[in-house]
Structure 1
Amino acid sequence: MPLSLWLRVPLATVLISASTLAHVVPLFAVTLVKALLPLRLVRRICNPMLAGIAESWIGFNSRLIGVFTRTRFMIEGDHDLHSDGHYLVIANHQGWVDIPVLQKVFNRRIPLLRFFLKSQLFWVPLMGLAWWALDFPFMKRHSREAVARRPELAGRDIEATRRACARFREIPVSVMNFVEGTRFTEAKHAGQESPYRFLLRPKAGGIAFVLDAMGEGLQAILDVTVVYPNGRPSFADLFADRVGEVSVNVRERPIPAEFIGADYQNDAAFRERFQIWMNAIWAEKDALIARLHGVEVG
């Protein structure tokens, strides 16, 4: 029987905070060993331990969603997944609730999801250090004006991507990319003059750089579509039991051989082909979202 609202949200907050503290202590202990003994054998032992601690934390949070809410998860196409695989995971992005939803759907079914994070998030108490310990790459985003003044800034994110992907080659990994680059809002949608009904324009460069850096180390792309039929929720909405249903569609896509090792930054012809491919995927996703919303297309 779901708890009353006045008790549910604060109790969930306390339990998540307590679980975070309980998991962060062993996470930092293993990270310290890994940092002090930078040997390949030590990394091979420590990396699965770190991933296991993170998966335990995610599993606890996911169980809380089941205990504290009546949210129904309607999942399609997630049948043939591998916990030791190497995936590039792409998804639309509607809000922060997307992250616990994706973690609940994929935890222990594919390798730990690793996100490219804004560099400012490193300073989030406890979590910033935890993300660093788990090899989440931190990226500095620069405005177009800043890049125009200092073109070398554009290359720094590319090098950060390459360094992160080099580490990912050693472990089972799921590299997570919200292709739109930001959360969907009606204002952003209008400002972009997006050709899609339910999506912002995709930013193809990040995906191209990951494919370039990891090459044949990735086995497939998991194309994930998340839909909230009753509107985009907040964290408070989730644990206040105001999210009746979440629809998640998972489609495994092969990685075209021509995209492996190609130079997105300097090869204009390839860049155009890659963007056409990405836009076609986004058009399919837009039609899928319309179907999941029960909206007629055409």
Structure 2
Amino acid sequence: MLAYPLLVINVLLVLFNTAVNSLIICLIAIIKLFLPTAKMKIWATRAADKSMWLWATVNTGILALSNRVEWNIEGLDELKKDGWYLMISNHLSWTDIVVLCSVFKDRIPMPKFFLKQQLLYVPFVGMACWALDMPFMRRYTREYLLRHPEKRGQDLETTRRSCSKFKYNPTTVVNYVEGTRFTPEKCRQTRSPYQHLLQPKTGGIAYTLAAMGEQFENIIDVTLAYPDNLEKPFRDMLMGRMKRIVVKVNILPMNEQVTGDYFNDKQYKRQFNQWLNTVWEEKDATLKTIHKAQ
């Protein structure tokens, strides 16, 4: 019975933390609009990132006080605070955002997530993410693009505009390559060739690399798992039931496999798709090992 009062307390604490830091970030964004020089705007951006760091730190404290988590983290040694990174990760639940921010907040620049357009309208969260220059993407289906060919290329242009804001301040851009959260049902419905992952979508990561590929120093490949909390990890975390969090990090080089003209070079596109599928095969094998060790 103790879990349910704890759930209410943690939800209220997380909402309060999110609301306060969102308001601070939005206030900084308003001030930033009136700053006269690019250098001063960069300072404002760093101040907003500090508020996001505070949000992540408080959430980490809430997680630590409420749960006796066994952390299994590998591969953080080569990272640095002042680098530019593209981070790719599997996606299981809202818990992923809390975990990624908690693990990486003092090792690399605060993560900037690619978000669905609908999240812009979520109270507090949407405003803060907009103020932090996080890209909001409106994905178009193939059928929609056939009816509206004028919309082709808009995602790439949106990505370029968003990423142009990251050129003057060290940044980590996060892309959930699967495009949605993994569930066994989605895995069956989409006939995914993987046991613990959905089929990766190359479009989003290709847009990001086309916009900022020359600036990224490395790709951070993250594998997340909650082996003892498979069904509802976010609820379990809020109820103090999270037992184990596994974070495996693999640093990938920016080489010829990920630098090319994805949209006009068919040979490179096939090569890039093969590269990403290989990364996903290795990630699925890692997840199989993690879950077998339960």
Q: Could you say which residue in structure 2 is the equivalent of 1:235?
A: 234
Q: Could you say which residue in structure 1 is the equivalent of 2:160?
A: 162
| Structure 1 residue runs of 4 or more that deviate by more than 4 Å after TM superposition | none
For 1:62 and 1:164, the matched residues in 2 are separated by 28
CA contact (8 A) 1:51 1:112 kept: yes
Identical positions, percent:
38
Per-residue deviation at 1:98?
1.2
For 1:41 and 1:174, the matched residues in 2 are separated by 20
For 1:144 and 1:246, the matched residues in 2 are separated by 37
- Comparing 104-113 with 225-234, greater Cα deviation is found at 225-234
CA contact (8 A) 2:89 2:177 kept: yes
The alignment partner of 2:165 has SS state of helix
Q: Could you say which residue in structure 1 is the equivalent of 2:43?
A: 45
Q: Could you say which residue in structure 2 is the equivalent of 1:267?
A: 265
Letter in 1 for 2:162: A
Q: Could you say which residue in structure 2 is the equivalent of 1:248?
A: 247
Per-residue deviation at 1:16?
1.8
The alignment partner of 2:144 has SS state of helix
CA contact (8 A) 2:88 2:176 kept: yes
Q: Unaligned regions of 5+ residues in structure 2, if any?
A: none
CA contact (8 A) 1:93 1:178 kept: yes
User: Given the two structures, how large is their TM-score scaled by the length of structure 1?
Assistant: 0.93
2:72 alignment partner, one of 68, 71, 74:
74
Letter in 2 for 1:241: G
For 1:239 and 1:282, the matched residues in 2 are separated by 30
Per-residue deviation at 1:233?
2.5
Per-residue deviation at 1:258?
5.4
The alignment partner of 1:109 has SS state of coil
1:224 alignment partner, one of 192, 198, 222:
222
Question: What are the residue-to-residue correspondences of 1:1-298 with 2, within 5 Å?
Answer: 4-37=2-35, 39-230=37-228, 231-257=230-256, 259-260=258-259, 262-294=260-292
CA contact (8 A) 2:23 2:128 kept: no
User: Given the two structures, how large is their TM-score scaled by the length of structure 2?
Assistant: 0.94
After superposition, give the CA deviation of every residue in 1:82-114 in whole Å (9 maximum; x if it has no partner).
111111000111122111111111112111111
Number of equivalenced pairs: 292
After superposition, give the CA deviation of every residue in 1:159-189 in whole Å (9 maximum; x if it has no partner).
0111111111111111001111111122221
For 1:105 and 1:29, the matched residues in 2 are separated by 27
After superposition, give the CA deviation of every residue in 1:15-37 in whole Å (9 maximum; x if it has no partner).
22222232233222211111122
Structural RMSD (CA): 1.6
CA contact (8 A) 2:186 2:198 kept: yes
CA contact (8 A) 1:212 1:259 kept: no
For 1:38 and 1:215, the matched residues in 2 are separated by 29
After superposition, give the CA deviation of every residue in 1:33-90 in whole Å (9 maximum; x if it has no partner).
1112253022121111110011001110111000011122211111222111111000
After superposition, give the CA deviation of every residue in 1:131-152 in whole Å (9 maximum; x if it has no partner).
0000001111122211111123
Q: Unaligned regions of 5+ residues in structure 1, if any?
A: none
For 2:73 and 2:97, the matched residues in 1 are separated by 15
Would the alpha carbon gap of residues 232 and 74 (structure 1) be closer, same or farther in structure 2, given more than 3 Å must change? Answer: farther
